[in-house]
Amino acid sequence: MRTAIEGLTVTLAGRDVLHGVELVAAEGEIAGLVGPNGSGKSTLLRTVYRHLAPRAGRVLLAGRDVRAMAPAEAARHVAALPQERGGDFEFTVREIVAMGRSPYQRAFAGEGAADRRAVAQALDQVGLAGQEQRGFDALSGGERQRVLLARALAQQPEVLVLDEPTNHLDVRYQVELLALLRAQRRTTLISLHDLNAAASLCDRLHVLHEGVLVASGTPREVLTPELLEEVFGVRAAVLEHPLTGDPLIAFDHRSPVRG
Ligand SMILES: Nc1ncnc2c1ncn2[C@@H]1O[C@H](COP(=O)(O)OP(=O)(O)OP(=O)(O)O)[C@@H](O)[C@H]1O
């Protein structure tokens, strides 16, 4: 589902942390948000999944303002894997994933066959089939991350919003997660700190710097040594990955540009 962000300005505690951001994720496109700590990535994503209201501008899903939708309707369109967690600890894995089905259920109606299928498929996709009855509080950080991703997938949204989803994941699950997202062919907005992962996954990248969108384009267009120096304050060479042909950023870990 085409997702357009128009003139988005968000104010937190009296300060503008996003300044008139404009970007479009086309139907089926994976749009990556990158930028230094505090540049506004989570704030932008929170506005898309309606956790925050903008001071100005809007988020349009297939041309409709998300804030004009009823909560259940918005939740059928957009599912999120947010950064903030908590409150889910007393539930089992299956109970948490099944929460993703609530936008489709009438009050007190219980689960139907479609719900059970969606939950089973989501658990399978994240490699948690057979672990349904484990308690969420007994899981590792990476396992929890996969449960919360399964909840978002069970929601069967047209737009998936993922805030740093590779946090806590070991390298194999990172690679599996990226493969899963590519295979979904679903409109996806994702923030990533790992610029090499972003370069390999995303169709387009959008770079935020101090709440301003400073570059948009394909990973190859955007990830230049000049941009890495100006925005991230690091020296790097941009090579070609010998196995995949993706841009490969080799950072100079010895000498930051800024102190
Ligand atoms: N609840 C809040 N109240 C006030 N300021 C906030 C709040 N949440 C975030 N901010 C500020 O808004 C700015 C953008 O924060 P945001 O979390 O969107 O950045 P980010 O790019 O996701 O950062 P990171 O890479 O560290 O996760 C930061 O300066 C942050 O301090």
Mean pLDDT of 34-38: 96
- Tell how far the Cα of 33 is from the centroid of ligand 1, in angstroms: 14
Mean pLDDT of 42-62: 95
Torsion region of 71: left, alpha or beta (phi above 0 gives left; psi -120 to 50 gives alpha): alpha
Give a yes or no: residue 256 inside a domain. Answer: no
| ipTM confidence | 0.97
Q: Which residues of 181-198 are buried (b: 16+ CB within 10 A; e: fewer)?
A: beeeebbbbbbbebbbbb
Evaluate if residue 185 carries a pLDDT over 80.
yes
The verdict on the CB of residue 84 being under 6 Å from ligand 1 is no
- Give the pLDDT of residue 88: 62
- Give the pLDDT of residue 85: 67
The verdict on the CB of residue 13 being under 6 Å from ligand 1 is yes
- Give the pLDDT of residue 255: 80
The verdict on the CB of residue 101 being under 6 Å from ligand 1 is no
Residue nearest to atom 25 of ligand 1 (CA): 37
Number of domains, the chain = 1
The verdict on the CB of residue 42 being under 6 Å from ligand 1 is yes
Question: DSSP letter string over 157-204?
Answer: -SEEEEESTTTT--HHHHHHHHHHHHHH--EEEEE-S-HHHHHHH-SE
Evaluate if residue 258 carries a pLDDT over 70.
no
Evaluate if residue 115 carries a pLDDT over 70.
yes
Give a yes or no: residue 202 inside a domain. Answer: yes
Give a yes or no: residue 257 inside a domain. Answer: no
Give a yes or no: residue 197 inside a domain. Answer: yes
Task: Look up the domain containing 246 and give its range.
Answer: 3-251
Sign of CA dihedral 193, 196, 201, 203: positive
Give a yes or no: residue 258 inside a domain. Answer: no
The 3-state DSSP class for residue 52 equals coil
Percentage of the chain exceeding pLDDT 70: 97
What CATH number is attached to the domain comprising 228? 3.40.50.300
Evaluate if residue 259 carries a pLDDT over 60.
no
Give a yes or no: residue 128 inside a domain. Answer: yes
Q: Which two tokens stand for residue 98?
A: 């099944």
Residue range 225-251, pLDDT digits in tens? 999 999 999 999 999 999 999 999 999
